[in-house]
């Protein structure tokens, strides 16, 4: 059982793991469990944050039987690794969690059945997936750090994704200011949420579609191609798919950069992306998906690690531990992995493939008709 309070260790360190895009169903996904267990044992974190799409809400398996029991089982499948080790955890939601037909508020009740769930236990709360949690100093006398978990919303009517509502942005400002009043200074903070902010595109260079690293964007950047700026690219830490942002910008980033309290915002949602860059004094970064039950970047699926230092609180270290680093290329379910490695990343990405397929079929039919008529 957790002590219900987050606190820096005696040596002034504090470690966080970000798990995102598990896409769980009521049956365990062995490779996902294998990755989570191994990273927990390797890193021994003080806190785990789940940043959305824990539930594969659109999975047909949820359409039959007892839906509530199936969702409870799915939640138990991936939190068991954390709970069995007594590690505190926080949860926010993605666009797919509510698609299962159970509200985020009711899903949060399922999480709160576990002693290790600290969701809004000791902070300020706006809604089930939006709250702040303090991390106290090693001696417990003051708040050293703050975690904002933000429910960034679901799928928007008419397509695309919801934006973080202005009321939620105002809530963040109010909590930030309350913490200032309480402690006499702005508290260094992280923001964790599922869907990235518009400003993520400031980390990219627009390039010609023939550039070797060009990634096609959609909706608000339809017809444009981008690559991650060179200063943020290192090995596999690059842009692998377009950032799927809301169609409108409600000023969330502008709010978090105002007072310099938010050091970084980290996202999930775009499963294959894995990088960190800095824009206007705030780090913006992705954790890759850790779930093998949806599309992803092969064995580069992973979990992001953050190391905080109370004696140098505004500077942190981060890296990603991947399945490949731990286990190489061999997976427990290669057929599942192969399938999900080759499906389109989104409906928009699927459209050109569908068009090509239809045109190819038309061409094939035309060829057959030609051969029948003239030969």
The pLDDT value given to residue 364: 60
The pLDDT value given to residue 367: 58
- Averaged pLDDT for residues 289-313: 97
Q: Are 198 and 246 in contact (CB under 8 A)?
A: yes
**Band of the pLDDT at 235, cuts 50, 70, 90?**
confident
Strands 225-228 and 189-193: unpaired
Answer yes or no: is pLDDT of 65 > 80. yes
- Select from 17, 14, 18 the least CA-distant residue to 267: 18
Share of the chain above pLDDT 90, in %: 84
Share of the chain above pLDDT 70, in %: 91
**Band of the pLDDT at 370, cuts 50, 70, 90?**
very low
Q: Are 280 and 14 in contact (CB under 8 A)?
A: no
- Averaged pLDDT for residues 284-299: 96
User: 252 phi and psi, to 5 degrees?
Assistant: -60, -50
Helix axes 30-43, 67-83, angle to 10 degrees: 30
- Averaged pLDDT for residues 100-125: 93
Q: What are 27-46's pLDDT values in tens digits?
A: 999 999 999 999 999 999 99
**Band of the pLDDT at 268, cuts 50, 70, 90?**
very high
The pLDDT value given to residue 227: 97
User: 210 phi and psi, to 5 degrees?
Assistant: -90, 0
Bridge partners of 205, per DSSP, are 227
Answer yes or no: is pLDDT of 79 > 70. yes
Q: What is the pTM of this model?
A: 0.91
Bridge partners of 7, per DSSP, are 136
- Averaged pLDDT for residues 173-190: 98
| Neighbouring C-alpha atoms within 13 Å toward the C-beta of 18 | 31
Answer yes or no: is pLDDT of 67 > 80. yes
């Amino acid at each position: 059982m957790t002590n219900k309070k987050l606190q820096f260790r005696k040596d002034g360190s504090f470690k966080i793991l970000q798990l995102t895009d598990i896409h769980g169903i009521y049956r365990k996904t062995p490779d996902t469990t294998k990755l989570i267990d191994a990273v927990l044992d390797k890193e021994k974190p003080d806190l785990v944050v789940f940043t959305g799409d824990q539930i594969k809400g659109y999975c047909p398996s949820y359409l039959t039987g007892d839906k509530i029991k199936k969702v409870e089982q799915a939640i138990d499948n991936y939190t068991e690794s954390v709970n069995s080790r007594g590690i505190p955890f926080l949860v926010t939601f993605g666009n797919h969690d509510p698609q299962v037909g159970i509200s985020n508020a009711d899903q949060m009740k399922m999480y709160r059945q576990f002693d290790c769930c600290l969701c809004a236990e000791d902070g300020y709360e706006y809604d089930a997936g939006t709250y702040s949690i303090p991390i106290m100093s090693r001696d417990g006398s003051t708040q050293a750090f703050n975690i904002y978990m933000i429910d960034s919303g679901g799928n928007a009517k008419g397509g695309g994704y919801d934006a973080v509502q202005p009321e939620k942005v105002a809530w963040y400002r109010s909590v930030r200011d309350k913490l200032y009043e309480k402690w006499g200074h702005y508290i260094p903070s992280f923001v964790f949420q599922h869907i990235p902010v518009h400003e993520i595109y400031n980390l990219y260079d627009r390039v010609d579609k023939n550039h070797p690293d060009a990634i096609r964007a959609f909706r608000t950047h339809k017809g444009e191609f981008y690559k991650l700026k060179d200063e943020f690219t290192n090995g596999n830490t690059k842009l692998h798919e377009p950032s799927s942002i809301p169609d409108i910008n409600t000023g969330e980033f502008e709010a978090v950069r105002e007072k310099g309290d938010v050091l970084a915002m980290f996202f999930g949602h775009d499963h294959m992306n894995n990088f960190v860059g800095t824009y206007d004094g705030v780090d913006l970064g992705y954790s890759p998906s850790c779930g093998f039950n949806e599309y992803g970047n092969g064995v580069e699926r992973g979990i992001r690690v953050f190391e905080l230092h109370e004696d140098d609180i505004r500077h942190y270290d981060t890296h990603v531990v991947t399945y490949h680093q731990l286990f190489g290329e061999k997976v427990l379910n290669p057929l599942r992995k192969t399938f999900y490695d080759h499906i389109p990343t989104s409906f928009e990405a699927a459209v050109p493939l569908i068009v090509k397929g239809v045109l190819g079929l038309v061409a094939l039919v035309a060829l057959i008709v030609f051969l029948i008529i003239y030969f």
